[in-house]
Structure 1
Amino acid sequence: MFAESHVTVSSDPDVRLFVARSDGPPGRTLLVIHGGPDWDHTYLREPLAHLAGRHRLVLPDLRGCGRSTRGLPDDAYSPAAATADLVTLLGTLGTEPVDVLGFSYGGLLAQRLALAAPERVRRLVVASSSVLPVPPAAYGDLPERAAEAAVWADPSLSGPARTRAAAVAGARANVWRADALPHYLRLLDGVRFSAEWLRPLRAGTLPGPRVPDAAARLAALGVPLLLLHGRQDLVFPASLVEETVRLIPSARGVILEEAGHMAHVDQPDAWLAAVADHLA
C-alpha cells in the first residue's frame, strides 16, 4: 500500500527524510506529522491507511527519527529545523496545497508549518495536541505516569532503549480502553525509536515547539482547523479544545469519549470519520 523512499530536504547538514506514500490524487494530499519526537510515523498508519486512494497519504519520519538521517549535532534538532524540512518536502510534492495532520508533538509542528507556509496548507488537523499552552497544574502528579517517570529516571537505560521503555511504560496512561492496549503494544513493537532529540532535551538546549500567540495567528490565517482529541487525554487536556474553538473562528473541535492520548487507537472508527469529514 505504501511506497517508501528517502527524500533529501537539507544539504547543510545533509538530511534525508524517510517517507511512506500511498496512491491517491495529488490534489488530495494528506501530510501526516508524527509525535514523540523520537518515534517514527508507523504507529499512525492505522487507521489512516483506509484513506489511501481517496487521498494521497505522505508520512515522513522527522530528522533524527525512524529511518531518516540520524547522528546530527544536537543543535540540528529543533522545531524550526524540522519545520523547514517539511516545507522543503512539500516542495517536492508539487504546487497544490495539501492537508496537514499533526499528532501530539507533531501537532505543534503542524501549526508551525501552516504559519511558515500558509500558501501550501489547505486544511489542518491538530490531533491529541493543543494550540494553547498546557497549564502547569493541569494534571499534577498523576499516578498513571509513575511507571513512565521511573523509566526516565533509570540510570541503567539510555538511547533508543530508554525511549522505547518509556513508551511501553506509558501505554496504560495513553490508551484508555483496556481492550485496545494489546493492539497498541503491538504497534509500539514496530516503532523504530531513537534518542536524537532526547539529548538536547535533557541538556536543556532544545527550543520549545510552541508558537507564541498561536491562537491569534491561526485565527488571522483562517485555515480550516480540526482539533481532534480524546476526552481522557493525560498529556494535553481536552478542556483546551473548547477554549481554542472560542478563539479561532475557523476551528472546530471533536472530542471522543472513552479515548486517551492515543485516541486513534481507542476509537479508530470515530477518529478516522472525524478526519475524513474535515478533509471532505
Structure 2
Amino acid sequence: MQDTDTRPRAQAVAPDPYAPFPVVDDPAGWGLSRTVVRTSSGPVVVHHRSGRDPLLLLHGVAGSWTTWTPLLQASGGAGDRGLVLVDLPGWGSSPAPEEPLDPDASVRVLTEVLDALSVPDADVVGHSMGAFVGMHLAVVAPDRVRSVSLVSGTTVATADAARHPIRGLSTLPAFTLLRAGLTVTGAAARPMLRVLDRIGLLPLLAAPVFTHVRELDRSVLDAFVEELRPTGFTAAARAAATYDLGRWRTVTCPVTAIAGRDDVFARTSDLDALRALLPQARTVLLDDCGHFAHVERPAAVARTLGLA
C-alpha cells in the first residue's frame, strides 16, 4: 500500500490476501436491524444498529448494503460503532424512484434516513458513486458529516469522461464503453449478464473492474450481476456530467481518499486532483487493487480508516 501524500508519514505495507471474504446477505450476523424508511423519493431499505460514532456506508453502482460485508469482516464488524447501511433508491432492495435521483435528491434521502434513525451525524464512507454522494452530503449538510472517506471514488476523471464521452474513450475507456453499452441495451443488460454467467463468460466481462477476477469468491460476481442496474448507472453518469466539483472546496471535515492502482473507472491522478480541491485530504493508493477496494483489499481499507 503506497500513500501518495508527500508529507512525512509512516509507510504501510500490506501483504494481505486478495479478496479474502465473500459478500454475504446476513444482517443478523452484524447485529443489524432492517428498517424501511419512507422518504421523499420512496421507501428506502436500511440495515442499521446503534453504537458510538456511527458509520454511514454508501454503496456504489453495482452495489448494495451487502457490498460492505467484506469490510465488516475485515474490521471485526467495526467494533462497537453504530452502522447505517443504506440501499439507495433503485439499488439493492430499495425500489426505483419515479425519476432517477440527482445528488441533491440523494442527499435529501440520506438526511431523512438519519433523522428517522435519530442519528445526528456520522462518519461517511462511500464507494464509487457513493463516494460522490458522500462528498455532496458534506457540501450541503456539513453538520451531519464528521468525516468523509472515498473508497475507489469516482471523482474528477469520471466527471470529465461523463461530460466529454469522446475524450473519455481515451481517458476512461471502460467507464465510457460501459455507459454506452448500458444506454443502448437498457433493461436487457441484466438478462444478458445472466446469460454470460451461465455460459461462463461473466469473469471476462468483470475482469476490467477487479484486478484478479478469477480469485474472487463466487458471491462477489453474483452480487455484481444482481446489482448492476442500467438505469441507475446512466443516471449517475448524467449527474456527474453536470456537477460542479468546485463545490467540494467548501468541505471542511477530514477527507480520506483510497484508490486502487488498477482502477479502470478512475485514475490515480484523481488523488492529486482531489488534493488540489482539498489540500487537507489524505490520499492512499493501494497496489494490486481495482475498483472495489473494500472487497479486494478490505484489510488495508479497514486499517486506513482506523477500523482495524
TM-score interval, normalised by the smaller of the two chains: 0.7 to 0.9
Q: CA deviation at 1:157?
A: 6.9
Q: CA deviation at 1:170?
A: 3.8
- The letter of the residue matching 2:47 is A
Looking at structure 2, the residues matched to 225 and 273 of structure 1 have their Cα atoms a distance apart, in angstroms, of 15
1:175 counterpart = 2:206: no
CA contact (8 A) 1:24 1:53 kept: no
Question: 2:150 matched to which residue of 1?
Answer: 126
1:99 aligned to which of 99, 117, 123? 123
Query: Which secondary structure state, in structure 2, belongs to the residue aligned with residue 197 of structure 1?
Result: helix
Measured at CA, do residues 23 and 211 of structure 1 come closer, stay the same or move farther in structure 2, by a change above 3 Å? farther
Deviates further, 229-238 or 139-148: 139-148
Bigger relative CO (Cα 8 Å, ≥ 6 apart)? 2
Looking at structure 1, the residues matched to 237 and 265 of structure 2 have their Cα atoms a distance apart, in angstroms, of 19
CA contact (8 A) 2:150 2:257 kept: yes
- The letter of the residue matching 1:171 is A
Looking at structure 2, the residues matched to 219 and 141 of structure 1 have their Cα atoms a distance apart, in angstroms, of 24
- The letter of the residue matching 2:248 is L
For residues 90-138 of structure 1, what are the alpha-carbon distances to aligned partners after superposition, in whole Å with 9 as ceiling and x for unaligned?
1123353210011001111111111121100000011111442434446
Measured at CA, do residues 219 and 155 of structure 1 come closer, stay the same or move farther in structure 2, by a change above 3 Å? closer
Looking at structure 1, the residues matched to 180 and 157 of structure 2 have their Cα atoms a distance apart, in angstroms, of 25
Q: How does 1:140-179 map to 2 (within 5 A)?
A: 140=170, 152=182, 158=188, 160-162=190-192, 169-177=204-212
Q: CA RMSD in A?
A: 3.6
- The letter of the residue matching 2:272 is E
CA contact (8 A) 2:169 2:176 kept: no
1:264 aligned to which of 272, 294, 303? 294
1:29 aligned to which of 51, 54, 76? 54
Question: 1:67 matched to which residue of 2?
Answer: 93
CA contact (8 A) 1:29 1:58 kept: yes
1:189 counterpart = 2:219: no
Query: Which secondary structure state, in structure 2, belongs to the residue aligned with residue 276 of structure 1?
Result: coil
Query: Which secondary structure state, in structure 1, belongs to the residue aligned with residue 131 of structure 2?
Result: helix
Aligned residues: 265
CA contact (8 A) 2:175 2:265 kept: no
Q: CA deviation at 1:234?
A: 0.5
- Give the percent of matched residue pairs that are identical in Structure 1 and Structure 2: 25
Structure 1 regions of 5+ residues with no counterpart?
none
Question: 2:19 matched to which residue of 1?
Answer: none
Query: Which secondary structure state, in structure 2, belongs to the residue aligned with residue 174 of structure 1?
Result: coil
Measured at CA, do residues 86 and 174 of structure 1 come closer, stay the same or move farther in structure 2, by a change above 3 Å? same
Give TM-score scaled by structure 1 length. Answer: 0.78
Give TM-score scaled by structure 2 length. Answer: 0.72
